[in-house]
Structure 1
Amino acid sequence: MLNVLPLRAILYQLFFIVLAIAVEAIVLQFYLGIGKKSSIQYASTANLFSTVVGWLVFFSSDRWLPQPWQQQLMNYIFLDEISNYSLLVVIAFVTFLGTFVVKLQSLNWLDLILENKPTSVTEVRDRTKFQGKSAQRQAFQEVPSRALAVLLANSASFALIALIILIRTVSEQPVAF
């Protein structure tokens, strides 16, 4: 275990959390049709929970990685040095899928805690059962898919964060003449 405080990694993590909350709140507000305050609360809760779970998974799974991967991952986190871009892409993809699942589950738990009952598709189908196909299609489209909204929000925040990391990485590379 290193006795080094990765201040740069902590600051970037805080910056990315704030950025992800802002982007995901906008997407959740638009796709779920909820208010600004609720969308910010949902995005904040989901991102903070997924960050804590992510770091717990990282620290518990680090010891099972092969030694070269451990070294490369520690170099990236603590020293901001990248030697294997393909490993970084794989880790980013696994992180994306993991945070999507954790964020979706955290929103479900948050609804259970707050005792909010989201409108289900079967309830809408029952209400429009005898109103014809166009009414059923329109009512089905009104029901937001929480999983799709969380996937789009997670995708938007990950895309923006990846763009910032790419810009930072490219701008810090020495220019060869």
Structure 2
Amino acid sequence: MPENWMLPRIFPIGGILFDFLFVLIAIPIEAYLLHYRLKFDKKTSTFYAISINLFSSVIGWFIFFVSEPMLPIQMRAELIN
């Protein structure tokens, strides 16, 4: 792999899978609550639930990948473990 690519050396597959499973569970719960509490129709509440969860996941992973190289060695080792 070329050295100039901005990819992490260790890709957090476990964390990404956990986030994916968490989003799969959170979307129907939030869609139900949006439908029940805010009286949106089911299609709109599902769209909003998907949008909110995907937006927050993308922002969270972006912050993680940007801040991870700036951490001290001790914290990076603990994060990898």
- Pairwise TM-score range, normalised by the shorter structure: 0.7 to 0.9
Q: Which residue matches 2:23? A: 17
Identity %: 39
Q: Scaled by the length of structure 1, what TM-score is found?
A: 0.38
Larger radius of gyration: 1
Q: Which residue matches 1:157? A: none
Q: Which residue matches 2:38? A: 32
- The separation in 2 between residues aligned to 1:17 and 1:51, in whole angstroms, is 8
Question: How many residues are aligned here?
Answer: 74
Matched letter for residue 16 of structure 1: F
**Structure 2 counterparts to residues 49-128 of structure 1, below 5 A:** 49-75=55-81
Report the CA distance between 1:55 and its aligned residue: 0.7
Provide, for residues 88-135 of structure 1, a one-character-per-residue CA deviation record: whole Å limited to 9, x for no partner: xxxxxxxxxxxxxxxxxxxxxxxxxxxxxxxxxxxxxxxxxxxxxxxx
Provide, for residues 9-51 of structure 1, a one-character-per-residue CA deviation record: whole Å limited to 9, x for no partner: 3322211111111111112222211111111100101111111
What do you get for the CA RMSD once the two structures are aligned? 1.8
